[in-house]
Amino acid sequence: MIGGREFRWGERTYVMGIVNVTPDSFSGDGLGDNVDAAVRLALQMRDDGADIIDVGGESTRPGFAEVPPDEEMRRVLPVIDRLARELDLPISIDTYKAEVARAAVHAGATLVNDVHGFLRRPEIARVAAEAGVPAIAMYNHRGREFRDTIGNIVEGLLDSLRAARERGLPEEHLIIDPGFNFGWKDEQALEMIRRLGELRVMGRPILIGTSRKSTIGNVLGGLPVEDRLEGTAATVAIAIANGADIVRVHDVKEMARVARITDAVVRDWTPEAQPT
């Protein structure tokens, strides 16, 4: 359960829509202080097929400047508070700071999404545990020595699961994310998608976020962010075919359609098997 909704892993792919309330998002979609625009975007994403809305107040682009917790809360809390009253979908808070996660959950977030997998500031796992909400543990390869793509990911995620368990967050409340483009060379990022099914050994639902990422632009000859829709669609389809349960995307309408068609192929679609 996430935010009172049942998520039946393995039956279909769920779509997480990205709402960035930052001035410096890598994808050019940062909404800054415009709460009304953020709420409108989230409501449109719901209508376009999103199952979860992920709200973030700090960019994670390479070389990003860290935002103090007070500033991050100033950005995200008004949006989460409004969405909790106006949106009938689970709301995720994209942060690695315990104090931000605690305030966001109090405002109405029902999922914690940590791009450091509880390893940078482990207390965030305790926040999720005490609030009784699930959490996403992402493997972040930045600054780490490379040995093997899936081997690195599994090793890092096992550390995340251990950190969560030590702070009272049960494994059944965890979703794992291999961290596409977080410290990887392009060929390694592509290998991650190709070998994604190997992460099934961990027994947890898999989220992946390839949307508009630099590897897609590089493979397509240096395309800018705004021209990466088709490349994103290809990575989303292949990730689903290889075991992804949730796809985190900017272009919800298009990727919800990609997910539905891919599910029809890989999950043996029938006319009665409609998304619920």
H or E element at residue 72: helix 69-86
- Cα separation, 234 vs 213, whole angstroms: 12
Placement of tokens 């998002």 in the chain = 25
Q: Is 185 a catalytic residue?
A: no
Q: Which of 213, 228, 253, 257 is catalytic?
A: 213
What phi-psi label fits residue 203: left (phi over 0), alpha (psi between -120 and 50 degrees) or beta? left
User: What distances in angstroms separate CA 2 from CA 85, 157, 158, one per listed residue?
Assistant: 16, 21, 22
CB 152 within 8 A of CB 192: no
- Cα separation, 204 vs 220, whole angstroms: 32
Q: Is 248 a catalytic residue?
A: yes
User: Which residues are part of the catalytic machinery?
Assistant: 213, 248
